[in-house]
Amino acid sequence: MIRNEEIKQLAPIFGIDAIGITSAEDLIDARRLRVAYRGFPSYHPRSFLKKARSVIVGIENYYARGRPLRPEEGEIARYTWSNYYYDLRTRLKELARFLKRAYQMRFRVFSNGPLAEKPLAVKAGIGYYGKHTIIINEKFGSWIVIGEILTDLEIEPDQPEENDCGDCRICIDACPTRAIEKPYQLNWKRCIQYLSNHRVEIPLEIRRVWGNRLYGCTTCQEVCPKNSRSRPTHSIPEYGYVGPGFSLYEVLMLDEERYRRRFGSNQIGARWMELACLKRNAILALVNRGEKSALNHIIRFEDDPDPMLKEIARWAVEELQRWI
């Protein structure tokens, strides 16, 4: 069995902020780790590497200081300023290739799926679940992306993280849509982070607290005391860079080709994200800004062939006409 310190000491060489090790056993203890065990392949690491023995869990701190938003821009969630998942996956692949040369191991590398990365991070001692259901690392707070090297090496495992948030409920109280219904229980149907990604009905009360968000929401992270001392450890990756904001009016003028070309290397342009959803988000942000100039840009969507855009545009026009 390989000592885990032999692996961990390599982390800074490859620009990985922290590493934890756990076994490749099925995550049958996922319920104890405050997630529901449903028997999906993501809870069975050996579904992806038959003879896997260990999972090397790595994290990258994505906290960065961004430029101020321009007047016409909608806000983009911090984790999406660039493609940090790709960046971490690249670093983990470099580490895995190094280990393969040293140990002749077999491996697979993941980040942002398909493995159940949150319970793996807890099991590997990387962090613990915050009451907002995001993993918190003691050094970097919740501003982290997670990735894994699944390997057939047998590596000494770390002890699971047993910390928690204690009596703190700041994130629960700060959520603009009350999506955190109780500690460790998130109602995705009310979470702006989820809603901004998907073709779903946006309830009226959520539309009116949407704010200037174009993509995602990090309110629960912004207020978390564990993030109060966050500091950058990396420059923002160039691959997939979009920054902290993007013109709301430009979003409304994008066609599919320009959208994929502009955002294709970022999570915003991922295969599951429809351009129509981004345009809906832009309309919601413009309504919440209450800008009269937005009317002429939104009116043309009142008869859009997409029923989602048609509905949101007609509602937006009524709202703006009433407020202005």
Query: For 270-299, how does the pLDDT look when each residue is reduced to its tens digit (9 = 90+)?
Result: 888 999 999 999 999 999 998 888 999 999
Position 82 pLDDT exceeds 50 = yes
Distances (CA, A) of 127 to 7, 145, 163: 18, 12, 8
Using a 10 angstrom Cβ sphere, with 0-12 exposed, 13-18 middle and 19 or more buried, the burial of residue 321 is: exposed
Burial 116-134 (b: 16+ CB within 10 A, else e): bbbbbbbbbbbbbbbbbbb
Q: Both tokens of residue 251?
A: 């979003």
pLDDT tier, 54 (very low <50, low <70, confident <90, very high otherwise): very high
Cβ atoms of residues 119 and 33 within 8 Å: yes
pLDDT tier, 59 (very low <50, low <70, confident <90, very high otherwise): very high
Q: Whole-structure pTM over 0.85, yes or no?
A: yes
Question: At which residue do the structure tokens 């756990």 appear?
Answer: 22
Work out the number of other CB atoms within 10 angstroms of the CB of residue 305. Answer: 6
pLDDT for the residue 271: 81
pLDDT for the residue 287: 96
Mean pLDDT for the stretch of residues 16-21: 98
pLDDT tier, 37 (very low <50, low <70, confident <90, very high otherwise): very low
Residues 6+ apart with CB under 8 A from 101: none
Position 43 pLDDT exceeds 90 = no
Query: For 235-272, how does the pLDDT look when each residue is reduced to its tens digit (9 = 90+)?
Result: 999 999 999 999 999 999 999 999 999 999 999 998 88
Q: Both tokens of residue 97?
A: 């290739």
Q: Both tokens of residue 100?
A: 């393969």
pLDDT tier, 217 (very low <50, low <70, confident <90, very high otherwise): very high
Q: Where are the beta strands (DSSP E) in the chain?
A: 18-23, 54-61, 73-76, 107-111, 128-129, 135-136, 144-151, 180-182, 185-186, 213-215, 245-247
Position 71 pLDDT exceeds 60 = yes
pLDDT for the residue 227: 97
Average confidence score pLDDT of the chain: 94
pLDDT for the residue 30: 53
What is the DSSP-derived secondary structure letter of residue 47?
Answer: G
- Of 259, 262, 270, 277, nearest in space to 214 by CA: 277
Position 113 pLDDT exceeds 90 = no
Higher pLDDT, 37 or 228: 228
pLDDT tier, 86 (very low <50, low <70, confident <90, very high otherwise): very high
Percentage with pLDDT > 70 across the chain: 96
